[in-house]
Structure 1
């Protein structure tokens, strides 16, 4: 039923905490508990995280496995870095579609502590220092103000795991309601992919053109959408193109019956991902 998303630096204690949670759930409930993550796929860390395409493929495989395992009865613990904000949002969309609660467990350590723990591992299990440093640099910390990062449980290395609070968040809380961007609809339009590509490209073009005369905080009107994009100081075309690719990948798996909704769906996705 519920999904627990582990998050943290490399070697921050995520797997240990995931195993602790599994024991607690099995002791206190009659639910099956599945731990999914890099280990289950046999991921060779230094090879995968040195190649952006390989890393992207692994993330897609892991998300697909989460989607297969999440149901109304079992507990799924997703033990991976989950360090990208947009990826955590995709997981949030997934649980909205399945209609099950979720929470985030953030293993909060300093990079110095995690680096020390990394060097204490068997050589075959270690991240190279270059890969470790790059992952720490790219890490996007969760923020409880974001719906996809909430409820958020930050756990320091010497903390006792707040099992009761986590349990309440998963079993005593309603699932987030579905919205248009997470409703899986039958694919009825023969030119859906063409429309998806064109509409999302038009939205990026509108944002690009508006940046010539707008400043951070301005609301930008985009073609075909009733909602507006709120510009941020950090927005750049490289990031927007990356978010567009993520949105297209998700929407291909969950197409909308009415292509007229795509603009608003994409605007919602950008606003949530950029703030």
Structure 2
């Protein structure tokens, strides 16, 4: 089913826009819409979750799993979440390609202090603490329509209604991005590719562990030959890296990439999205 991602600061109006999109598609277009809500996943402990990187990662994992469970070609999934990590949005884009279904992104920008004021208007149990709110704003990676995984993007300012007809057209009147080798589920058959997968991920792991011995805590780490830096904002342990490497290998075996030279870059992107 087509996928709609919301993205924005805390208390920037994402849930309001998600509800408007859901109501429109159901009432005006007769579509079945499944709303996957970050608020439901947080279980009334948003400040506790967003103060603990491990719990936050687990919530993202549950949301992604629920989206993947619902994805098909007919109905609509609306993910009402901050979706503030570009690597996470990229993973969802790849999932849409795998299921051959369109997606779009609805961005809800708002001035920081205005969003904070709306937050203060919530009930006491629904408010973000200031340090949690500021932390989420600081970590927010704004979507960019020039990125294929953030496109098509609809920017909805606080006083404006969402472009509902345009969103419908993007979901149902356009072709989904064609799947490529990296998003088609297929068994791994190349022994050489398996060797490159193991070697490249091991090289990244060794480089990260070595760099952390001399880097200041939270400093971005550059892997030789990889354009994107590893920017986690914290020190990661060898067990964490080993577990992430094992998961990445298992996924990549079933989704081989066309160019083995990109394995290290993809692994760094995976680490940024899953351990960040």
- TM-score past 0.5 threshold: yes
Following superposition, which runs of at least 4 residues in structure 1 exceed 2 angstroms of deviation? 39-43, 185-190, 192-199, 201-209, 235-239, 244-274
Q: Secondary structure at the match of 2:253?
A: coil
* Aligned residues of 2:181 and 2:256 also touching (Cα < 8 A): no
Partner of 1:216: none
CA distance in 1, matches of 2:55, 2:8: 20
Report the RMSD for the aligned CA atoms in angstroms.
3.5
Partner deviation per Cα, 1:127-167 (whole Å, 9 max, x = no partner): 11110000001100000010000001111000121011111
C-alpha displacement at 1:206, in angstroms?
A: 8.3
1:34 is the counterpart of 2:58:
no
| 1:59-138 alignment runs, 5 A limit | 59-138=60-139
1:148 is the counterpart of 2:146:
no
* Aligned residues of 2:201 and 2:263 also touching (Cα < 8 A): no
Q: Secondary structure at the match of 1:73?
A: coil
Distance 1:127 1:194, change over 3 A: farther
> How many aligned residue pairs are there?
252
Listed as ranges, the gaps of 5+ residues in structure 2 are 211-222
Partner deviation per Cα, 1:226-275 (whole Å, 9 max, x = no partner): xxx4x36xx35758x98x8878645534633769965434446768999x
CA distance in 1, matches of 2:53, 2:209: 25
Partner of 2:20: 20
Instruction: Report the more deviating stretch, 119-128 or 255-264.
Output: 255-264
CA distance in 1, matches of 2:231, 2:140: 20
CA distance in 2, matches of 1:142, 1:246: 25
Normalised by the size of structure 2, how large is the TM-score? 0.78
CA distance in 2, matches of 1:247, 1:146: 26
Q: Secondary structure at the match of 1:108?
A: coil
Partner of 2:168: 167
Distance 1:145 1:261, change over 3 A: closer
CA distance in 2, matches of 1:150, 1:251: 28
CA distance in 1, matches of 2:255, 2:148: 26
* Aligned residues of 1:107 and 1:157 also touching (Cα < 8 A): yes
* Aligned residues of 2:182 and 2:256 also touching (Cα < 8 A): no
